Chains A and B, each alone.
Chain A
Amino acid sequence: MTAPAAAETRCAQAWDVLGTVLDPEVPALSVRDLGIVRDVIEHDDRLEVVLTPTYSGCPATEVIEHDVLAAIDLAGLGPAYVTLQRAPAWTTDWISADGRRKLSEYGIAPPGPASADGTVPIRFFGRRVDAVACPRCGSSNTERLSAFGSTACKAMYRCVSCREPFEHFKPI
Chain B
Amino acid sequence: MHVPDGVLPTAVCAAGYAAAVPITWYSIRKINQTGDPRENVPKAALLTAAFFVASWIHIPVPPTSVHLVLSGLMGAVLGYFAFPAILIGLFLQAVMFGHGGLSTLGVNAIIIGGPALLASFIFRLRGLRGDATRRSTGIFGFLASLCAIGISAALFTVLLINFIPADLDADTERHAILMLALGHVPLMFIEGAFTAFVTVFLLRVRPQMLTES
Chains A and B form a bound pair: no
A interface list, Cβ under 8 A from B: none
